Amino acid sequence: MRITQGAFSFLPDLTDEQIRAQVGYCLDKGWAVSLEHTDDIHPRNTYWEMFGQPMFDLKDAAGAMAELAACRATFPARYIRVNAFDASRGWEAVRLSFIVNRPKDEPGLRLRRTEAEGRVQRYSIEPYATTMPEGRRYQ
């Protein structure tokens, strides 16, 4: 099941050229670009691990692309996303976030139904991959 989180996730995967253009757009807007990766794709898992520091003072997308190449080399089978943080007053928030790398095989999420008091049903979801310990998922 294809994970759809962040911008552009219903489109086909972005090519490097397209990623470069998007990052260039963010930098032109004055946003700071950063990279994050994870192997726990639960929608409530908001805070992914940072790869390197956020790239403040970046002028050109080439720097971020070099960092992305390094991140892909380190974590080829993880989800990697680009975040663009707008530090201007009043925003101070991530303005754009999109996935730029995903594992080849995505088993998706399992829906768990639990019987509670009376006939109440409780639902929860859980990525299939998280049944494996960290670091051994998506191999």
Partner 1 sequence: MNDLTQLIGLAPVKARIAQVTALLAVDSARRDLGLAGTPPGLHMSFTGNPGTGKTTVALEMAGILHRLGYSRKGHLVSVTRDDLVGQYIGHTAPKTREVLKRAMGGVLFIDEAYYLYRPENERDYGQEAIEILLQVMENQREDLVVILAGYKDRMDRFFESNPGLSSRIAHHIDFPDYSGEELSRIADLMLDRMGYTFDEGARVAFGRYIERRATQPHFANARSVRNALDRARLRHASRVFPKLAGADRDLLVTLRAEDILASRVFDDDSAGGPDA
Residues that bind partner 1 (CB under 8 A): 52-53, 55, 57-64, 66-67
Beta-carbon count within 10 A of 125 CB = 12
Q: Which is nearer to partner 1, 80 or 109 (CB)?
A: 80
β-strand 79-86 against 32-38: which pairing, if any? antiparallel
* Distance of alpha carbon 80 from alpha carbon 59, whole angstroms: 22
Shortest reach from residue 25's CB to partner 1, in Å: 14
Q: Which is nearer to partner 1, 57 or 105 (CB)?
A: 57
Q: Which is nearer to partner 1, 63 or 107 (CB)?
A: 63
Shortest reach from residue 59's CB to partner 1, in Å: 5
Q: Which is nearer to partner 1, 27 or 109 (CB)?
A: 27
Name the burial class of residue 130, with classes exposed (0-12), middle (13-18) and buried (19+) by CB atoms within 10 angstroms of its CB: middle
Shortest reach from residue 93's CB to partner 1, in Å: 23
Shortest reach from residue 21's CB to partner 1, in Å: 13
